[in-house]
Structure formats: structure tokens, C-alpha cells
Structure 1
């Protein structure tokens, strides 16, 4: 299949499309002749270019009563690449060895990967000052990209879009959700909005850092001395957040990671059963703490491979054979070349919570799924439960009071997780999984995604009527 794609690529060069953007920029799109893949750039602002890659599912069905869904995958970091990590390491059709992935999410939906924000992955800015500084700015750019992709394609407009986010991508997802809904209501975006899934998402940094010490103490990775030292820094972070000093809180967060690394003999922040130094690429604990999120992602995911080396190296893959396949990456643009800057520019928003945005989405009636890996540290289940309990949503008390249902997968009866739902809020506890849930527990995750993408579509007009009633009354 891969070779046939390459053979078709030279034909693809003949079908470049240059489309005018609403803001006067250019959009560039290209794809395979059979329409199974499309990719391109959107100039979301002058000199700010965002890369996207769309896969049409070979399992796609034509059912007017149950339209086939599209999943927009948003990676975290900030600065980690959805086109690279999410695609080749987690849920796309091929793995980083270019072998078919049996657990690809194409079994349940079409997939749209985006290198977001600009500066991430293949996305780039021509001037550094154009990098985003807030989650809202990232959401505005993503909304512009969705307008360009969906408004010109009536086929895509018939498929509901579901946003799935991982890690820091959760903050992008909730701000994008509100931005996209506003654009749909204003008739600027032609899109069926399905819902949002937050996977191990950095929604409330304060609650997560407060969970690290107690969690690691409970699983014997910290002792009382390590817990005391880490909790002292947590109190400092809480005060900095309360005072609106988010950049200072980001610096203290980095200090806290170093303290925990030193006291736990370098526990892996993505899976507390592992050490950071267990990956094939030799790095000291201090180097791992200082590494960019994109590099830390790849180090951890590399550690899960059975044959580490050149054939599975994501950097080599994306800057080599994939770059050649795509054929439109400008000279001088290296995959991940600006990713470190993305984190630097967002450091003032990194520790800002987005619980309020989750409340707004729930109150609008948007289907919201939250899932968390049992073994994650950086976005621990303990921290996620803490911020969920802070929601002001009217259904929260009932949600918290109901019992969980066990999850199984395949022929076995071994418990794979738990779930519970009330109205439009759904929570999944995934056992045996770290930060990268689709990698660690692909079977139960696919089942979850099936339920999520068949959970209904957000009724924009109904919400608009409610707003009109409020104004009238």
C-alpha cells in the first residue's frame, strides 16, 4: 500500500490547488488520486502557515441516519506534532516503521491531523513574533483552518467533527470548541459539531501538580522527604497562579519536575511504572527534564518499540521519507524545527486553567468525554478527578453520585477500565495505561471512540434559540 501511494504521488503533483483564503492568504492542498488522503497548508494569518493531513477511512459507510464521523486529533506539548506523533505513533493508519496499524482509529472515523499551533511539526511562521502566546490565539488559528477546509467541501460538511485531544491539546480543544461553535452560529463555519474528548488533558495545572507528590508517595516512588519537598513547591505554584503570575508558575513547575526526578530516581512522568532512562536514547534525568515536550514524547514512545533505531525514529521519518511523500514542505522548514519556540511563547498561558471553558461547553449541551490512563503522572487521574469536582455544571452532583460500569474488551473478562455517564458528560478510567492511552490500551480505547463518535451531534440552532429566549425574557 505504501509503495502504491508513492507511485501515485507524482500524479498528485499535477493536481495542486491554490485557493484564496478569506484573509487574503493562500491555502495549498494536494492528495492521492483516489481521495483517500489529502494534505496541505493554510495561511491562518499572514506569514503563519498551518499544516494538516486528512485520511478518508476505508471503513467509511454511507448511512444518512448515522453519518460517518471525522476526528480532529490535537496533540499536546505545547509543541508536539499531531501529524507526527498522533499519526505515526498512536492512531494513524501506519506506525513509525510504516507498517499497518491494526488498531488505527480509521476503523471508527476519518482522521484529520493538524500541526498546531503554528511552529509545531511542519507548521511554521516566517517571523518568530507570529507564534501564538495564548490558547485562545491557537483556537482562532484552528478555526480559520476549519473554515478553509470544511467550507469548500460539501462532503465533509455532512460528517460530524469530533475533537480528540491529548495532554496540553485539551486546552486547545476546549478553547477551539467554543470558538468553532461561535463561528458556526455566526454562519462563518459550515460544520456539524459532534463533541470533544479530553484524553489525559492538562485542563487544570494546579490540580495536576498537587496530585504528583501524593500519587508517587502512594506507589512508593517518593518517600516523606520527597513528598515534603515537592509539596512546598506546589504551594508556591498555587500562590503564583492565584496572583496571576503564570510565567513564574511555569518556572516553578519546571523546578518541581526536577525535584520529583531527583527524589524518585527519575520516574517517567508518562508512566510511573517506568524510569525516564529506560528509553533507547541515552539521556540523563536532568536532560530529560530540560528536553522539549516533543522530544520527551518521542523518548517515551521510542521506549515502547521492540526494534528501536533508524527505522523507527520519528525525526528521521518525518524529515526523510514522509517529507518526500508530501512534496510541499518548503525548503528550510524542518519538521519540529520551531517546536521549542512554541513552548517558550506559550509559557505565560501554560499554567492557566481551562475549567471554565469545560463548564461552558457542558452548559451548552456539548457531548464531553474525559478519559485517563491509570499509570499517568503528568496528567494523573487523581488530578483529573480533582478538577472535574470543581465544575459548576448543574449535572455534576448527580454525575459524582452514580456508580461506575466495568469495561472489558475482546474475548477475555479481565477488567480494562471503568466508565460512567450522566447527560452529556462521560468519564473513562483506563487501567494499565499511561499518558498515551491509545498506545497502551488500543482495544478498549477503540470501543470508547466508537461510543464517543456515536454520541450525537451538537444542535447549534437549539442553542441559538435558547440564547434568543434569554434575551427576550
Structure 2
């Protein structure tokens, strides 16, 4: 889409909002042309402004807890941020952790047995602006770095809390996956710093962050792809050496602050990895054909007039799974690290950090995450690295491994790839619930109490 076209469409949509914060409480009626059963409707949807000087706004959809064991005022609130950059959080909602998932075979919804809103409220944000159903008044307003992303997210989250005062004191956890691992850390860090200057009544009650298969420290992670594929038997020694040269080129360019060139080299390395291995997807090296067909059915579903009406979205807004304008704006950010922000969150002694990875992810899996975690400058890192890596079971079945020290927990989940909650829904659900409530294996090493 050209910039003039993007600008025209965005302005037309923004004008329709009339500069009013919108909250759409969904109707109970259901049209015969609408595949959304009323039971699958979000509790609330709407738009949250990201600036007082612009009509740009972030789209949200919220599902209240299905079976909270606590009063709602104490029920944790999870915020989900998708990656990309430029991928809509509808992916996390309809394919991974939302209360209802979608079957493209029959074009129908079905309850998600591994939903993350069983015990928690679940808030999805289309971030950055321009992503999904979110609106950028102009292409120039799309953030180009993590500070810009965090500033917009902070404005959106605090507005949501002001619109719904009953959420004010609920414990907040920010979660998501992939490139969202940078968003999660950045907004967590931003909240931490903003809270320092606010009174108790004005602070955001952030308790923890959860990063799934995160692209958190690209410099370190990029150097691990060749060796991971080699030890998995996917490439030979000659291919490993060839790939390592390209990986080092990407890292060297990043170290010299040539960010766009570094992103080009990183893309080249990942393209070569895909070609060398012949895999259907590097997101899960066990899959023999490409399993991820969600782009087509989500695009069809979310562009239906009745579905847009259900979600409270202007019918003229075209939903795309991945916004190329957002990726272009964020391109120079791809190889930048946010590891130092993780270190600050851990040093705060008030915010817990959960890292989790699917076993079969070649891009942001266990090897990549361990590589950057062990380089952290945090006073607890030695104790963490020396902590026992425990065998983790769910309902008596072997589920993976857990390693933790104080506020840092890392989980490797067996039998899954990059989109772990979709691959192992029950185990992922058990993980997030037990970690938040610090139950079982997740309560053995932490000095933190549930807030």
C-alpha cells in the first residue's frame, strides 16, 4: 500500500471515531451470517488513544475470566502482545490462548480447552498502531523503536484502566511471544520507570512479564541458529560454517550500529537456514508440511461485515494478518536488544519474569534463549545458572523442564514449537496458571508472594 493511500484510508477511519474513546459492549444477538456464536464474543472491545494530539488509536478486545477463584477486584489481568513486527494479536486470540479457537475446516468456532482466561482476565492489544484493527492516522506516526512502542502501550493501558476503574488494582501480567518478547520487556521497563514518579493511586499494578519464544536479544540469538540446526542433524558441517559467516556478518553490522544492514543480513541467514534444511517451517522442525494456515481463514473471517460489527470495528477498515507498513517502520529495530531491560526488571525485586520456549523452535527456542540469559548482568544470574533444572509434569504426564531462581523462571515445554500454546494448550495453560499463583514446581524457589 502506498503512503498516500495508507494515509487516506487511515484518516477516513479515524474521522469516524470522532476523536472519542470507544468501548463496545457486545450485543447478545447473533446474525445467521455471523460465524461468531454469542458465547465467543469478547466481553468488551474498543479503541484506546495513544496520544492527546492525534487520532491514532489502539484496538483492544477483552475477555473476562471464565471461572476466577478470586473476587474480580483481585483476579489477575493478562495483556497479550503479538510479534511480527506488525502481526495482529488476533493470532494469539483465535489460534492460541483465547477462549475460543477457530476451525478452518468447518469455518466454525469451538471452545479452547487451553484458554488463558480460565482464571484470568485476558486483554489483547493490536500493537503497534497500524497493526490489525488498530489505526495510524498517518504512516509517520507508527513507532520506529521500542521506546515509541512502549510510550503508546503505556497510554493505551492507562486509558483502559481509567475507562474501567474496576481493573485498577487487579494484578497485571504482560505476555506474548516472538518479536512481542521485545514489546513485553519494553512496556514492562517503561511502567517500572513511570511508576517511580507516580503516587500509589496512579501506578500501574504490574506484577510480572511472560515471554514466549522471544526474540529478546537478537545479537546473541542470531549466532546460535547454525549450531542448533547442526546438532539437530538438519545441516552438515560445511553448511554450518557457511551459515555462521552470515550470522557473524549480521552481528558485526549490529555492533557497528548499521541496523538496517544488520536486519538484511539476519534475514539472509534465516532464509539460508530454511533453504539448507528444506523444512516446511523453522518454527517447528518436526513438521513435514506447513501447518500454519491461519492467515487465510483469519483474513476471510475478520473481513466479514458481521464480524466487524460484532467487534465494534468500522466496516471500511480492512484487516490484514501482517501489516507491511508496520514492519517497514520497525525494520531498523529488528536486530536491537532489550536484554538490559530484562536485567532492570529483575533488579526491581518487584516484577517476576517467566521465559518459556517450545522444544522444537529453531528460531527463538531453548538454545537461543539460554544463550542470551547466561550473559545477563544481574546479581542473581550465577544462582540461577546453578539452580536445579527440574522435571515438570502436568496431570502426571511429562511436560518439560523448569529452572528458576527468585524472580526469574525459564520453562522448556516438550512437544511444541514457536506457537507453543497452540501445540500444547493444556500444558501451556497449566504453566501460566501455576506460575502466576506460584503453585507446585513454580512455588519452590521464589521469594515472591502472589500479589
Q: Take 2:338 and 2:140, find their aligned partners in 1: how far apart are those partners?
A: 25
CA contact (8 A) 1:193 1:457 kept: no
| Structure-2 residue corresponding to 1:386 | 371
| Structure-1 residue corresponding to 2:62 | 54
Q: Deviations over 1:60-108 (max 9, x none)?
A: 23449x92111000111111111x1000000111112321111111112
Q: What are the residue-to-residue correspondences of 1:297-376 with 2, within 5 Å? A: 300-302=291-293, 313-320=297-304, 321-329=306-314, 331=316, 333-336=317-320, 339-365=323-349, 366-376=351-361
Q: 1:267/1:338 Cα in 2 relative to 1: closer, same or farther (>3 Å)?
A: closer
Q: Take 1:72 and 1:232, find their aligned partners in 2: how far apart are those partners?
A: 39
- The answer on 1:185 being equivalent to 2:192 is no
CA contact (8 A) 2:55 2:137 kept: yes
Q: Take 1:19 and 1:190, find their aligned partners in 2: how far apart are those partners?
A: 28
- The answer on 1:417 being equivalent to 2:411 is no
Q: Name whichever of 33-42 and 366-375 sits farther off.
A: 33-42
| 1:248 CA drift (Å) | 0.5
| Structure-1 residue corresponding to 2:154 | 143
Gaps in structure 2 of 5+ consecutive residues: 1-15, 29-40, 103-107, 439-447
Q: What are the residue-to-residue correspondences of 1:249-288 with 2, within 5 Å? A: 249-275=262-288, 278-279=289-290
Q: What are the residue-to-residue correspondences of 1:18-417 with 2, within 5 Å? A: 26-32=20-26, 37-45=43-51, 46-63=54-71, 67-82=74-89, 84-96=90-102, 97-187=108-198, 189-275=202-288, 278-279=289-290, 300-302=291-293, 313-320=297-304, 321-329=306-314, 331=316, 333-336=317-320, 339-365=323-349, 366-410=351-395, 412-413=396-397, 415-417=398-400
Q: 1:337/1:203 Cα in 2 relative to 1: closer, same or farther (>3 Å)?
A: closer
CA contact (8 A) 2:46 2:312 kept: no
CA contact (8 A) 2:146 2:183 kept: yes
Q: 1:444 aligns with which of 427, 431, 443?
A: 427
- Which 4+ stretches in 1 moved above 4 angstroms? 33-36, 455-459
CA contact (8 A) 1:372 1:380 kept: yes
TM-score (norm 2): 0.84
Q: 1:453 aligns with which of 433, 436, 441?
A: 436
TM-score (norm 1): 0.81
CA contact (8 A) 1:119 1:338 kept: no
CA RMSD of aligned residues (A): 2.4
Q: Take 1:353 and 1:36, find their aligned partners in 2: how far apart are those partners?
A: 34
| Structure-1 residue corresponding to 2:445 | none
| 1:322 CA drift (Å) | 2.6
CA contact (8 A) 2:23 2:44 kept: yes
| 1:57 CA drift (Å) | 1.4
Q: 1:432 aligns with which of 415, 419, 437?
A: 415
CA contact (8 A) 1:246 1:349 kept: yes
Q: Tell me the SS of whatever aligns to 1:122.
A: coil
